[in-house]
Amino acid sequence: MDRSPALPAAAPAEETPPGPGTEDAALDADRFVALARSIEAEVGRVIVGQADLVRQTVICLLAGGHALLEGVPGLGKTLLVRTIADVVACSFSRIQFTPDLMPADIVGTNILVEEGGGRVFRFQQGPVFANLVLADEINRATPKTQSALLEAMQEHQVSVARTRYRLDEPFFVLATQNPLEMEGTYPLPEAQLDRFMFKVHVPFPAEDELAVILERTTGAERPAAAVAASAGDVLDMQRLARAVPIAPHVTAHAVALLAATHPDQPRAPELVREFVRYGGSPRGAQALVAGAKVRALLDGRFNVAIEDLRAVALPALRHRVILNFEGEAEGITADAIVRAVLESVAPPAVE
């Protein structure tokens, strides 16, 4: 059986050479801030308000992670993803998740084609082969179909018929979902949730923001975002973010925060012991550190502070906390658990 070779791809971020020295990095950090602000400004030309949503999504992008956006229909989740793809000038693909969607509809499949007087199998790429993939309403597909993204999100590759195909870098999955209480939705498997760096809640806009939205969407002219960065710029920014140093006591605080989400750990507060079934995985600590590094750069600092970790704790940990039956019955939220952890794990006295 003839199979097409794996697609070439840029080396993943973890295989890149070490970052620049402190002096050169300070200069690069200025360009990092300028590019990041340009990205946010251009997104803001289309998306009204939602500053925290835009900032947390951009942090995910620049940290090389994936983001899950949750909110009721009509809040602009899909428009945000489409706008980011336009602003960073990368290839974009949208997958509309439905109950009848199959894994092959996402990753691709081998098809039989006529070639050289005979028939051979050739791999036909699925929509996952793009720099930015929008998994729209991901929780409307069955868990089997949702799991088709697991390998792509973690390893930036897909396997079809014992052949692996690399995905182009940068690779970023932005998924949207409606609240699970809504009709026709399926809960995401824990392994799927854990691969998202951040879970970001999309709030309902304020009245003044809603008025601006109406003006923009019902008028004769519609605002458009300009290109602010290239895919190569994003890769450079991801590499710089990984090079940001973090002190041992800051790393220890990230470990302490994660440990406190586990009910069997001595650091766990009473709320965790009583209502949590499982705490965050090591990916939770990785998300804390990676997000804190980008936040530090956005603040003009080339070092991670304790406040950076705590600022990204909610989006980094809320989807990794699994409540027990009592917690669900009492209406305890994952955000309440994470806030209890932040209150119980005090920052170190000296930074």
Q: What is the CATH number of the domain that holds 249?
A: 1.10.8.80
If asked whether residues 236 and 259 sit together in one domain, one would say: no
The residue from 243, 273, 300 where one domain ends is 243
Q: Read off the pLDDT of residues 107-150 as tens digits, 9 standing for 90 and up.
A: 888 887 877 777 888 888 889 999 999 998 888 888 888 888 88
Whole-model pTM? 0.84
Q: Are residues 194 and 275 in the same domain?
A: no
Range of the domain at 46: 1-243
**134 and 278, same structural domain?**
no
Give every CB contact of residue 24 below 8 A, 6+ residues apart in sequence: none
Residues 235 and 251 in one domain: no
Average pLDDT over residues 285-307: 93
Domain boundary among 178, 213, 243: 243
Domain-terminating residue out of 225, 243, 261: 243
Higher pLDDT, 74 or 34: 34
237 and 336 both lie in a single domain: no
- State the burial class of residue 189 (Cβ atoms within 10 Å of its Cβ: 0-12, 13-18, 19+): middle
Higher pLDDT, 20 or 110: 110
* CA–CA gap between residue 137 and residue 206 (Å, rounded): 24
pLDDT on residue 125: 87
Tell me whether strands 118-125 and 108-115 are parallel, antiparallel or unpaired. antiparallel
CB-based contact 249:237 (threshold 8 Å): no
CA–CA distance, 243 with 18 (Å, rounded to integer)? 7
Same domain for 324 and 186: no
- The continuous run of DSSP H or E covering 151 comes out as helix 150-155
CATH classification at residue 90: 3.40.50.300
Residues 13 and 92 in one domain: yes
Asked if 236 and 257 sit in the same domain, the reply is no
Q: Do 88 and 173 fall into the same domain?
A: yes
Return the structure tokens found at 319.
Answer: 């989807």
Number of structural domains (the chain) is 2
In eight-state DSSP terms, residue 147 is: G
186 and 136 both lie in a single domain? yes
- In sequence order, the β-bridge partners of residue 160 are 163
Average pLDDT, the chain: 84
Note whether 131 and 13 are same-domain residues: yes
Same domain, 226 and 81: yes
pLDDT digits (tens, 9 = 90+) for 159-198: 888 888 899 889 999 998 877 665 567 778 788 888 999 9
